[in-house]
Structure 1
Amino acid sequence: MTPSMSRRLVTGGICSTMLLTALVGTGANAAPAQAEPAPVPQLEHLDRGLVAATTDDGVYLSWRLLAGEVTGADADRQHGPEFVVSRDGEPIATVTDSTNLLDPNGTETSTYTVSTAVDGRTVSTSDEVMPWAQGHYDLPLNRPEGGVTPAGESYTYSANDMSVGDVDGDGEYEYIVKWDPSNSKDVSQVGYTGPVYLDAYELDGTQLWRLDLGPNIRAGAHYTQFLVYDFDGDGRSEVMLKTAPGTSTTSHTADGAGQAEYISMPAEDVQAGYSHDDYRLSAEDYYEHVVEMFQGWTEHPEVVAGSWPATLEEAFGIEPRYDYPLSAADARELADYFIDVYAPSRSERNQLRDFEGFVLSGPEYLTVFDGATGAELDTVRYQPGRHDDGLMWGDYAMSRIEPGNRVDRFLSGVAYLDGTHPSAVFARGYYTRSTIATYDWDGESIQQQWLVDSGWTPMSNPFDDSPHGVDGTDPEYGSITTQGFHSLSAADVDGDGRHEIIYGSATIDDDGSLLYSSFDTLPEESADPGAEARLGHGDAMHVTDIDPNRPGLEIYTVHEGAAWAPYGYALRDAATGEVLYGAYSGQDTGRGMVGDVDRTTPGLETWAWDLRSADGALLADAAPGTNQSIHWAADGSTQQVHGAQEETPTIEDWENGTLLVAEGTRTNNDTKGNPSLVADIFGDWREELLVRTGDSDAIRIYLSTEVTDMALTTLMHDVQYRAEVARQQTAYNQPSWPSYYLASDMDVRDVPTPAVWLPGALEDLATAVDSAIAAGQVDRPAAAQLGNAVSAAQRHLDAGRHEQAARAADRFVRALERSIDKGWLSADAAARLGYLIQGLGQR
């Protein structure tokens, strides 16, 4: 390799001074920049992701094209290095136009590797793999033992939602599995639940740890939203989620499970008398809770302010009969009236004598755990706290009285608010008071960035009012009430390189300010013709480039507001919230989806009850399924995952029928019919299907084995898609969408070359330097300069000093250029080190 060839590799990498400054910000002693560099997001350093599967026609192989490897594109593919495929140690093909291959001579006992070649020189080689049988692989699980609730009800466990992250920095994903008990509940459903568990596994089934959320976190889709992500940029994923007293972790080793350790409680909580006890209420406990609430009625701030009725009799609409403040005996009489007479008169479903199993008091925390060991790293208070049992949240105001409902609706996600570093997003409430908090993890402590809070929705009577669709008291954020969904997304909607948080029918800018909250006019057939109303709450939301003929991204949503909502479904401009098209339904429109299902029509189609083109034209009165989508076919089109409850899951193509029957497996979350995960975790840009086996003894991973000539970087190196995968497990699981138009008619030249920072690649670079030195491929002056620079970069990165790490990596680039010029490296070493420094990322 000539010096000029090697220099092209080096200078094509991410480690130029200007770009490194963009990664970490400008330090106090840095020279002033001529212009603010574009943000460069930090993502995972992944290995080749080679996977093989036996088919009727031979062995199918698929591998990743990584962000730092892209050198250009044509209409059908992104270009990168040559890939040399070897079977049983012997080269069988050199692939330059895709990232997959069908080997007709392969067998189930064959072994394969893929090597990366630059100018004919091998610069990396994948781990060796053997083919999966029948196009799938079973990841063994350790199913928890069942139990019995305080009410004497037995329960068992099934694997539920999943997420992935590289918890140990080896370039391979580990698998985080949530276990739900058979008595898992919706927040509106009464009763005890068993505890929720989170497990971490290697692909071979080695269990790393188990997290027991304990009795004070209920089991259900709305309670436990867990984020698996490398938040601090050390190349290893953490796990962050809401916890409570009683939460504990157990590490697993080759010698068996370790000792369970409770999370730490703040000293003030311990001093206040809290412990790791069970704070769930029995029916008797709840009755006493109501008595106590009634005794303190005259001291409630809303009563003191004159906003609520001065007496409970006035609130219930009965004749006055008691003196206030209430005595214990009078409070019990009113509690009996409320529970036995008033509540059932509002709805026959209000059976509050049976109200049990809820956690309405006690501390609430946010904890970050080490992804490799499960060890607690930091715990802070969950913000905002519940405040009360839902009284202020409107849980007693509707006809269905549901303590602990609106107050305990949680969401989570990941957003690159500065364009570079991932932040955790946790939300509470979305029907009435609506809150969104963002956090950073720097390797030592959790730091809250900002908190959006709509304020309370005013009520004239907390026992008889309509708090939905009412502005909160906050002057900036009051309009986001009732706009949140059962999920959220993060995307760069305004083109500034930073993520906004799409909170259903409202969008929060990267700095925490309100970008917009979408309203429109109610039509003639609605409940209030001509009135301006929120688009409002819904269950399903999709954010991506739906219409490639328009600039920017679009948002497709469905809405529950029935006669009080302007639309049953709507497509909006993501930057402004303007409705591009939609239709009034007058009923709760529960499901909706987008995707390229009609290959003859440009853009992604949208559907709720009929199939529409990206510009709103009616294509068909019927529509595909809406449980989950998957990119499975070779041409970039979109398929659907069918099957809920005890149905066998299938992958369906709207035009070509059934593509896969996942025999022996099941989906999750009752009628939602969600797989445990759909994500691009192996191989080329297509997504894998991860579903539990019927007995939950394994997660079965299905791989598409249709040969494709489309070549794209792994979807996990698109920053929007990677963040979407992290939030896919949240509440009502929604598909993960990239930041660009992905469809059968896409022009790959329109796909942006990923500009990313992959700090985990430093470890591979350090290993390569040591190997080259040991092999005598590096002369002494270069060995000292290269070794010192890469060691310093890794040391600073491990300590969370990103700016210093970036400067050290920049020194490595200069040393490598100098070593090439001086002839201090062999041609092989120059090629390999140049390729690896490029692998840190690319403009």
Structure 2
Amino acid sequence: MAQQLSFEPELYTTPRDAWEKDKDSATKWNLWTTDKDAAKKWTGGTVFRSPSVSKDRTSNEEGAPMLHTVLTGIPDGSYTVTVKFGRGLGFSRDGGVTWTNLISSGGSVGNMTVSGGSLELWFDDRFADKKSPGNCYFDCIYLTPVKAAAPEVASAAVFTADFEGSIETSGFSWWSRDNKGSAAVCADAHKGSQAIKISSDGEKDWAFSSGTMIRVKPGTFYKVSAWVKTDNPKMLNVQISSRGQGKVLTWDIGTGKKFTSDGAWTLIESTAEIPQGCDEIYVRLTGNGKMDIVADDITLAPTAPPPPKVKKPLTRGFAEQRIVEKMSRSLIAIARNSDIYLNWRLLKDDPDSIAFNIYRIPNNSAPVLLTKTPLIETTDFIDREPVPEASYRVVAVIGGKETDSADTTGYIAKAGEPYLSIRTGTKFQKAGIADLNGDGVYDYVVKQPNVNYVDPCIACDYWKKSTNTYKIEAYLADGKQLWQYDLGWSIELGIWYSPYVVFDFDGDGKAEVAVKTGEGDPRDPDGAVRSGKEYISILDGMTGKEVTRADWPTRDELGDYNYFSRNQIGVAYLDGKTPCLIVARGTYTFMKVDAYQFHGGKLTKLWAWNTDDEGPQARLYRGQGQHNMHAADVDDDGRDEVILGSCVLDDNGEGLWSTGLGHCDHAYVGDIDPARPGLEIYYAIEPKKQSNGMCLADARTGKIIWGYDKPTTHIHSTGFVGDIDPKHPGMECYSGERDDPLRRLWSATGNVIADEKTFNKGLDLRAVYWDADPQREIFTGGALRKFDGSAVYEKIRGSQVAWADVVGDWREEMIVSDGEFLLIYATAIPASDRRVCLMQDPIYRIDVAHQAMGYPQVPTTSYCLSAVTTKSGKPVVSMRIDAINGTTETKGSLTIAKPAGSDGNAVTVMLTADNARVAPEKTTISIDPGKSVVMPFTLTLPRKPALFGQKNGILVTARITDGGREANASATAIIEDAPLAQAAMVNASAFVSETGASVKKRDDKIGSSGQSISHWDVQGHRISWELTVPSDGKYLVVVRYCTEQPALRKVSVDGAAPTMMTFQPTGGFSSEANNWKHAPFADERGRPTIFSLTAGKHTITMENESGSMNVNYIAVISEKDAGQ
């Protein structure tokens, strides 16, 4: 009889806060270990005991929380499931929608099929025992295997090809993407007198496919085998392809590969399980690029299921307890117009009662206490009477006494320049953020130059020959450069060749640099590196000297250059304590991962994994990579899993699950939907999908929660996940198509919030926590803005490289590369509450570490900030304001959430605006504890905004008082450059002549009044328009345009000598309405030019000198109307 499996539910159940150990409660389970004779009564001496149930519950929320149990590590098959329980324990298969009383079945759940190694169940203290009401008990789950029938073999289920006849009679056909190569019979046979010879002289992929289909049934197993010989084995695959209802389902459900290169006959074999929906299979030989192979005796036949995998042992690192970074208070001071704003960190180990004193330290003078009473509600302070050349000191106060926990800053960011700066001397591409010298302050390891030959796909024309080498440079927080390490010619210019991470791997308090390295100059004549030794090297963070190295996963099995040139590095706490190094190769096809620990100056391999380790399930793990990597404890066992993309590796180096959706361009993990238990992963899939090209999956099981139900072609780039819209609980998810306007902003529950017509932010949305509310502000149009478009901060320059909470309180900083400097932009907006430093969240910290490699992604957290009530008891407030568009009035609203457990319901709101009137100015509203309200307001300007010049917007500030607790919020009403309502004009698309190139006429530009033109980016490209002036007079010629960078144009009227004019950046190429600006023709000093024009037609000419810009229309405005 097959062995029965038993599972202790406390090891497989969430949420963890649903119970307390050895404590009875009316709202939680008791994980009871102190029962008399517990070891005799309960398996393992432990049992879940519910609150007393006197009558049947009517909802999942009554009594103790519903328990979600996911059993893992189960061999696939059918099982009889029984539960050891007491009284009226409820059981559900559908997440708590329908319930069964286990009393009625005697604990039998029935037969269930396990696929993918896991089984998902739900339990609740749902029912009362009518004969003996009281506590429910949940002790153990048993799985007894059901004896399976012998595999069914379809008739005519064996296919063989010996090529003793012609190609035509074999039923095989040749295909190649570049129409090169051929297949022909030859006399060099493995057995018999003939074989097939394939000769490929192209650069792209090819296939030699059988036209004979074998009828199959899902759940059966088939083996493919072939005898082959070749001198170029790394590009050869023998595949089982699947079809369903006459259409190809997947090209590869089982692949055998040839790895030797001695030209001898070699047997290739692979086994595959027939997936659901498949009714036919056939054989293909595939490869990529130039090669000659001979193949013979190809067989496809049914086979017995493979034996169950031997489970790998748990990872055990060297650490006895979790290694965490030492963190200072990281006090930062930012000068504002007349005061100085200070903020600092709250740490996760701080007691709830901790408070802080602030001291000003004048130059060469004694410290001056600035706080009348220690600060407890926020970790920020404003010095309203600053002294030149002073520094500041924050001191922790516990139990009314100052402690040794203190931090001092001597740096004050200048007014109007809210950033810290480090001189790097050049632009850089990536930044690793970690503490190199152990002082609790983050330092920076950058990679330069800022060059990225994006993709190793030579055949796609993406690849370029490297003309320089990457250098890794380390800088302390004070700007001191420590060292430079040249990666040399063995590492090409591109993010996939040069991954690195910076982290304290050995737990000594000082971070190391883990980086991919090579030796010498192994470049081929074309400049590509296809051979040579490769290593994972550990560099000392303070000196840059190599401490140790280990072999990088080999190029074998990955096929051509495009596939084996994709490399990544990551960090994961595989045992929950030791920060382990994850080294990965492959994204689109075969994938390999090695895990190491760094201890005692040495790298020790903990485990190795590759796609084929998953046996018949390998097809589900093949090509499931992402352009980044994540680590998170998805199954709540205290150990990190490795999220490679659409598949996840368990902490011991085994496949945990795979969606099988294919390569995802971006994926984000976190508590995206806080209403659900556990974590979620948002996916955006690159390959064509009929559905779920954008989807949310349960991080524990990989099951799709919701997804886009229409076809997608290529969801692209980094997308975004984060809480930006306060009207929708949880984090929002954003993605779009590469070659199509399709954009979707999803709520956490899968509702469409916005599309390409209302929220087109490109494909790389960035956002940070910047103001005082728990929503992120998005970077768009050259500024940080609220979700509704209102500006929060507008003076950001440089190329963004990373986003992280590196200094000050919990709000985030933007790390940018600006010419010769690394700039760290920090907020100067006062906080409304205090929260623990985000870098102490495990998912967030590793996400930040991974920003040094792969696609850059904004980090996520293991909890949703807006779903967490801070201990300050203050209301949580966010503000939105509509843009001002050609009028003097606009609308806005405040969303105010009153914390549960707070007193009363009367909340006072006071609103003020700079140079404008806001109504109401003061009001009292009623909000029940635990609830939120939306309060509208109106903003009125004293006059219409000027047509030209700087439009800074109108700052609106709110102060909310709830009893003795005060919260603040602010937002800026954007003043949009609205289209002219009454002016003589000509649409840019109605030009009368064009020379030098061709623009595109566009109907899809957001904020454009009618058509516009784009792709005006070639020097010498000249365009002329005819415009009718209504009457004689003095006029300005005005252009409505948008551009990301300065654009130079030679401008003239009626053939006069041209003037060189600079069109200043507007924030973007009309990804939003506010990108459009008006600019009059002006001289080289920027002074508007007044033209004396007669009534009738006039010719306006503009010629591109440099830069690109979109144009909506050209208009003439009288000198009087323009206010000149």
Same fold at TM > 0.5:
yes
Task: Quote the offset at 1:662 in angstroms.
Answer: 4.1
User: Which residue of 2 is the match for residue 365 of structure 1?
Assistant: 535
Deviations 1:480-499 (A, max 9, x none): 11111101111111111111
2:511 equivalent to 1:237: yes
Amino acid at match of 2:731: L
Unaligned runs of 5+ in 1: 1-32, 73-78, 144-156, 246-275, 283-355, 396-403, 456-471, 519-533, 644-648, 668-674, 752-843
Amino acid at match of 1:704: T
User: Which residue of 2 is the match for residue 612 of structure 1?
Assistant: 746
Where do residues 116-265 of structure 1 align in structure 2 (5 Å cutoff)? 116-124=396-404, 125-133=406-414, 134-143=416-425, 158-180=427-449, 182=451, 184-188=453-457, 189-245=463-519
User: Which residue of 2 is the match for residue 763 of structure 1?
Assistant: none
Give distance in 2, aligned partners of 1:441 and 1:113.
37
Deviations 1:138-185 (A, max 9, x none): 533343xxxxxxxxxxxxx63111011111111122110110354744
**Partner secondary structure for residue 377 of structure 1:** strand
User: Which residue of 1 is the match for residue 329 of structure 2?
Assistant: 48
User: Which residue of 1 is the match for residue 460 of structure 2?
Assistant: none
2:618 equivalent to 1:482: no
Task: Quote the offset at 1:475 in angstroms.
Answer: 4.2
Where do residues 667-678 of structure 1 align in structure 2 (5 Å cutoff)? 667=799, 675-678=800-803
User: Which residue of 1 is the match for residue 554 of structure 2?
Assistant: 385
Give distance in 2, aligned partners of 1:733 and 1:726.
11
Give distance in 2, aligned partners of 1:505 and 1:115.
46
Q: How many residues align?
A: 534
CA contact 1:39–1:497 (8 Å) conserved in 2: no
Amino acid at match of 1:666: G
Give distance in 1, aligned partners of 2:400 and 2:760.
47
**Partner secondary structure for residue 403 of structure 2:** strand
Give distance in 2, aligned partners of 1:658 and 1:729.
29
Say if 1:493 and 1:623 are closer, same or farther in 2 by CA, change over 3 A: farther
**Partner secondary structure for residue 349 of structure 2:** helix
User: Which residue of 1 is the match for residue 1087 of structure 2?
Assistant: none
2:843 equivalent to 1:569: no
**1:58 paired residue among 318, 339, 351:** 339
**1:281 paired residue among 524, 529, 533:** 524
Unaligned runs of 5+ in 2: 1-43, 47-313, 458-462, 736-742, 874-1124
Task: Quote the offset at 1:567 in angstroms.
Answer: 2.0
CA contact 2:357–2:369 (8 Å) conserved in 1: no
CA contact 1:65–1:714 (8 Å) conserved in 2: yes
Give distance in 2, aligned partners of 1:40 and 1:634.
35
Where do residues 196-595 of structure 1 align in structure 2 (5 Å cutoff)? 196-245=470-519, 276=520, 278-282=521-525, 356-382=526-552, 384-387=553-556, 393-395=558-560, 404-455=561-612, 474-475=615-616, 477-518=618-659, 534-562=660-688, 564=689, 566-583=691-708, 584-591=710-717, 592-595=719-722
Give distance in 2, aligned partners of 1:426 and 1:175.
22
CA contact 2:356–2:394 (8 Å) conserved in 1: no
Give distance in 2, aligned partners of 1:98 and 1:454.
49
Give distance in 2, aligned partners of 1:181 and 1:706.
32
CA contact 1:59–1:107 (8 Å) conserved in 2: no
2:237 equivalent to 1:101: no
**1:685 paired residue among 801, 810, 815:** 810
User: Which residue of 1 is the match for residue 1025 of structure 2?
Assistant: none
CA contact 2:815–2:823 (8 Å) conserved in 1: yes
Deviations 1:368-422 (A, max 9, x none): 011011111101111x2113xxxx5343xxxxxxxx2111101221111111111
User: Which residue of 2 is the match for residue 521 of structure 1?
Assistant: none
Task: Quote the offset at 1:624 in angstroms.
Answer: 6.1
Give distance in 1, aligned partners of 2:383 and 2:545.
44
Root-mean-square deviation (CA, aligned residues, Å) is 2.6
**Partner secondary structure for residue 846 of structure 2:** helix
Where do residues 791-830 of structure 1 align in structure 2 (5 Å cutoff)? none
**1:661 paired residue among 784, 794, 801:** 794
CA contact 2:614–2:655 (8 Å) conserved in 1: no
Task: Quote the offset at 1:364 in angstroms.
Answer: 0.5
User: Which residue of 1 is the match for residue 1009 of structure 2?
Assistant: none
Say if 1:412 and 1:191 are closer, same or farther in 2 by CA, change over 3 A: same
User: Which residue of 2 is the match for residue 639 of structure 1?
Assistant: 777
Give distance in 2, aligned partners of 1:43 and 1:550.
28
Amino acid at match of 2:431: M
Amino acid at match of 2:422: P
User: Which residue of 2 is the match for residue 92 of structure 1?
Assistant: 370
Give distance in 2, aligned partners of 1:40 and 1:639.
36
Where do residues 704-715 of structure 1 align in structure 2 (5 Å cutoff)? 704-715=827-838
Task: Quote the offset at 1:67 in angstroms.
Answer: 2.3
**Partner secondary structure for residue 722 of structure 1:** helix
Say if 1:575 and 1:650 are closer, same or farther in 2 by CA, change over 3 A: same
**Partner secondary structure for residue 865 of structure 2:** coil
User: Which residue of 1 is the match for residue 191 of structure 2?
Assistant: none
Deviations 1:278-314 (A, max 9, x none): 11111xxxxxxxxxxxxxxxxxxxxxxxxxxxxxxxx
Which structure shows the higher helix fraction?
1
Task: Quote the offset at 1:659 in angstroms.
Answer: 2.3
Task: Quote the offset at 1:39 in angstroms.
Answer: 9.0
2:823 equivalent to 1:703: no
Give the TM-score of the pair, scaled to structure 1. 0.60
Task: Quote the offset at 1:712 in angstroms.
Answer: 1.3
Amino acid at match of 1:639: E
CA contact 1:51–1:62 (8 Å) conserved in 2: yes
CA contact 2:423–2:822 (8 Å) conserved in 1: yes
Give distance in 2, aligned partners of 1:726 and 1:548.
25
CA contact 1:111–1:129 (8 Å) conserved in 2: yes
Percent identity of equivalent pairs: 33
Amino acid at match of 1:683: G
**Partner secondary structure for residue 536 of structure 1:** coil
**Partner secondary structure for residue 712 of structure 2:** coil
CA contact 1:225–1:729 (8 Å) conserved in 2: yes
Deviations 1:224-282 (A, max 9, x none): 1111111111111011111011xxxxxxxxxxxxxxxxxxxxxxxxxxxxxx3x11111
Give distance in 2, aligned partners of 1:443 and 1:507.
30
User: Which residue of 2 is the match for residue 722 of structure 1?
Assistant: 845
Give distance in 2, aligned partners of 1:108 and 1:194.
46
CA contact 2:331–2:345 (8 Å) conserved in 1: yes
Give distance in 1, aligned partners of 2:618 and 2:593.
11
Amino acid at match of 1:64: R
Say if 1:68 and 1:735 are closer, same or farther in 2 by CA, change over 3 A: same
User: Which residue of 1 is the match for residue 869 of structure 2?
Assistant: 747
Which structure shows the higher strand fraction?
2
Amino acid at match of 2:336: T
CA contact 2:806–2:812 (8 Å) conserved in 1: yes
Task: Quote the offset at 1:186 in angstroms.
Answer: 2.4
CA contact 2:334–2:340 (8 Å) conserved in 1: yes
Task: Quote the offset at 1:474 in angstroms.
Answer: 4.0
Give distance in 2, aligned partners of 1:555 and 1:718.
17
CA contact 2:436–2:510 (8 Å) conserved in 1: yes
Give distance in 2, aligned partners of 1:624 and 1:509.
37
User: Which residue of 1 is the match for residue 759 of structure 2?
Assistant: 623
Give distance in 2, aligned partners of 1:86 and 1:624.
46
